[in-house]
Structure 1
Amino acid sequence: MADSPMSDSEQSWLTLRITHRKATYELSFPEDATITDLFNEIEASLDIPVANQKIIAPKTPLLKAPFKNPDMPLLDLKGKHLTLMGSGAAEIQQVQDMAERVAKRNAARMAQRSKARHATTTRRNPQDSQYTFLQVRPLQDLPNPDRSQKLLLRLKEDPGIRAAMTKHKFAVGLLTEMEPLSHTQTTHEGTSRILGLNRNQGEVIELRLRTDAHDGYRDYKTIRKTLCHELAHNVHGPHDRNFWDLCHQIEREVDAADWKSGGHTIGETSRYTVSGRDEEEEDYPEDFGGWTGGEFVLGGVKNSSTAGMSRREVLAQAALERQRKEVDSERKVLEEKRQRSPPSDESK
């Protein structure tokens, strides 16, 4: 007698625990469900579009659409702690609405400026709030968003940045941080990191504040230099001679205003570390690679041995390699000491 098909009540199910912005959700699926089913269920349950979802799981590459294997079984994630990153459709619409308001405001300002060309130049006020970042916002689903908020506000109130924005009449709708993992790519050619993004000539500027592992913050002066680059994209898109002339001009103006205001940092540190680990920052050069589009891309040293590995695995491998070198060094010292020591008398 042939076996009858398994009913829904008899079918095996698995439950995944997913954390999103400090809230934990339990989602149940048939055991033959795939990664595509998981992302579709998250969109239906949490109103986060599939394209905006990113999932971090231990010993697993970053999961995001489009998938290398859409039929990857969810059983591979069973028992793992899953962290979901992504903004809901309502939040995305809010940012788009803000960008539209800024675009309309900039258009009205340009029309007003063309009418007033015959008027005498008015005195510029460095305190003028018209030329600034209208909003600053950290990523709430990453650790210590209050520290990111303070760093973004420090950039907003930086005397050099304020002076440059006033001089060039820059108004930016939103200054925010970017999620480092989703803007890092590891291939057979090496690792590249996007340090900054300028969307639609000043509607939104994103800066890479954190190290890849989310446990530290990058050097303040390096972040500020990235911001100078992104501000230059308010005027010029392509990286031509005009762009670079403006970019370097803004950098000089920021440095000059920094010294005039007494804001120089000689003799004091400008590195922000959350948990005391900042080795990763030392592993990068501060300005290696190139800029593409509205992005500042930091390219790492090429290393075929890390091809296909996740960012966390690359960092773990680097730590193990440092530890191995330390052990080898200690072993060599002990061996040299043993060879210099006289033979023992135990054999007599």
Structure 2
Amino acid sequence: MSINLTISHRGQAYSLSVLPNDTLALLQSKLEDLTSTPPSFQKLLYKGKSNKSLDDQITITEAGLKDGMKIQMLGTTPKELDGMKAVENEQQKRERIMRERARKGPTKLHSTGRATAEDLNYRFHKLVPLPHLPNPSSALNLLERLSNDPAIHHVMQKHKFAVGILTELAPHEHPELLGLNQNAGEQIKLRLRTDRYDGFRTYKEVRRVLCHELTHNVWGDHDNNFKELNSLLNREVAAYESSVQSGTNVLGYSGDVYEGPSMTQLDSFSQVLGGTSTTSAGSTAMSLLADSAEDRRGRALEAAEKRLRQEEEEMESSCGTAGRSAVTE
């Protein structure tokens, strides 16, 4: 007797029929044919379980899959990985430009200081920490930092995002969630705190979830439309910060920035390598730095791809916004 399964992947539902004695590997092979996602990149979630802890040679029955069961699949295609590599290459190009600009000295962007009434609408209109949780003032400070983040402000103005309330999720009330967007921007809730309430999650982690939830102002499901816009927002945040990193700090950005090595630092580096502090030695040090960077890029790219896959899985499985039914709750 066959077992009928429904697999949901990025807003698309697939119906599959397998036999009880078919292996998990066979199921994953069929899913690869349907979604172009290799088995090694597939993560199947069902009834609180995941295939990642199972041997792919066990049978469908042994894996706990039953007739009529619904499965959520997460995964990245090789084509998308190629896109990540292209983004990484572009980032490396920007970093080289940033280093050149850092050596030549900062450039400046001049703001007119004018803001229209329309511009003022595209922002977070109210910040609300949870008063019954510890240190609400610290939570408010984090919400204010997000609200005042120039890169976030930039994408909100560009895409005309308005959010009524920016508030937090209590870990004990929503342990499975990192973020939630209600009514397409009426209210966005973010997990600010650690599970034990002994501190706060890192700013970059929270901001990445915020970009994810801002995307839900436009798209409800985690489909390709959502993923394209979410990727665009993250690229725009990075591009904005790159412009700041090249010397445009007059706009008030105070986040993490890249600072190019000074000639004194290069001289010191050349001395550590056994060189001298002459101009030629400085050039030799820069060449060695570049060679070292090239050696690291392969490992960094592999780690970045793995991290992005893990972040995508975490974001989608820990986001409370999925489809218009959730957006309008």
TM-score by length of 2: 0.42
Q: Which has the higher strand share?
A: 1
